[in-house]
Amino acid sequence: MNHSRRQVMQIGAGAAVAGLAVTAGLLPEVAQAANPPGWSESLFSAKSLDAVAKDMGLTPTASSEVSIIGPDIAENGAVVPVGIRASASGVTMVGIVVADNPNALAAVFHLKNGAVPSVATRIKMAKTSDVYAVAQVGDKLLYSKKQIKVTLGGCGG
């Protein structure tokens, strides 16, 4: 097998990093392909915040302990930056629900104990809609909402 100098350097660098990680006790975790607890097939096909909460067996409650960060106007519905922050204690999950999307639930993030309930991502929006930031605390689904206007593109076609 004839390797170029660049390929040899890449192989050597990768082996060195892996060796250091093992020596330091930093072993990589295997990506989890299994569905998380509370997952159901119908969760991401829900059409509203109430349907998402019902599927999760939770009661939706408006709360100032959850906030949504996002633009007032999104110039491109295909990439809308949205963030969630929750100040409530005991948050185990945060998510984003877009009322007028074909599938309302856009994202879910399960949090481990001690994780700061603050997440930022980009979502796809079909059209102007109310966007909900949700946070699970016990048997409640705390939420806040913001209307984001979409001027171009989107996931509706």
Ordered by start, the domain boundaries in the chain are: 1-30, 43-150
Alpha-helical segments (H) within 1-157? 5-23, 49-56
In this prediction, residue 46 has a pLDDT band, given cuts at 50, 70 and 90, of confident
pLDDT at 155 over 60: no
- Whether the CA torsion 121, 125, 130, 132 is positive or negative: it is negative
| DSSP per-residue codes, 57-71 | T-EEEE-TTEEEE--
Rounded Cα–Cα distance for residues 12 and 67 (Å): 47
Q: Are 79 and 124 in contact (CB under 8 A)?
A: yes
**Tokens 């100040």 sit on residue:** 87
Classified by CATH at the fold level, domain 43-150 comes out as: Immunoglobulin-like (2.60.40)
- Reported pTM: 0.72
Q: Residues with Cβ < 8 Å from 151, sequence gap 6 or more?
A: 73, 74, 75, 76, 77
- What's the average model confidence in pLDDT over 136-143? 93
Of 145 and 154, more confident: 145
- What's the average model confidence in pLDDT over 144-153? 88
Across the chain, mean pLDDT equals 81
Q: HSE-up of 48 (CA within 13 Å, CB side)?
A: 4
Percent of the chain with pLDDT over 70: 70
Q: HSE-up of 75 (CA within 13 Å, CB side)?
A: 0
pLDDT at 10 over 90: no
Q: Are 117 and 40 in contact (CB under 8 A)?
A: no
CA 36 to chain CA centroid, nearest Å: 13
The confidence score (pLDDT) of residue 43 equals 80
Q: HSE-up of 131 (CA within 13 Å, CB side)?
A: 30
